């Protein structure tokens, strides 16, 4: 698994010390981002492309959302699906989707 973001980057973004919950949030964001961008998931794959700063920031922001959702009274009740049709322009999920980019075809 390629490491797109670090726990230190997430802790800096959130403004809190790193802990196990933050690491779980980062791991979940990383895995979710790999589903959105399978072309970037495996650095040993000949088709691997460096994720870049935009994808890295998308993972950091997604991890921060996961981390903060535990203390949010509403959680993610407004985000039923993670797709272009349901993410409102200007929402955090929309911004993350833009940073991650679209799914690129992967030949198997």
Tell me the mean pLDDT in the region 79-98.
61
What is the per-residue pLDDT for 73?
59
pLDDT at 52 over 90: no
Tell me the mean pLDDT in the region 17-31.
92
What is the per-residue pLDDT for 33?
86
Q: How many separate domains does the chain show?
A: 1
Query: Is 105 within the bounds of a domain?
Result: no
Residue 100, helix vs strand vs coil: helix
Query: Is 106 within the bounds of a domain?
Result: no
Query: Is 64 within the bounds of a domain?
Result: yes
Q: Which domain holds residue 41?
A: 7-100
Q: What is the CA radius of gyration of the chain?
A: 14
């Amino acid at each position: 698994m390629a490491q797109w973001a670090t726990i230190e980057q997430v802790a800096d973004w959130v403004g809190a010390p790193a802990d196990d919950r933050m690491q779980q949030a980062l791991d979940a964001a990383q895995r979710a981002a790999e589903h959105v961008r399978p072309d970037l998931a495996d650095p040993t794959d000949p088709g691997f492309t460096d994720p870049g700063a935009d994808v890295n920031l998308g993972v950091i922001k997604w991890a921060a959302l996961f981390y903060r959702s535990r203390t949010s009274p509403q959680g993610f009740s407004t985000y039923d699906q993670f797709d272009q049709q349901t993410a409102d322009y200007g929402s955090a999920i929309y911004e993350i989707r833009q940073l991650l980019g679209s799914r690129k075809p992967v030949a198997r």
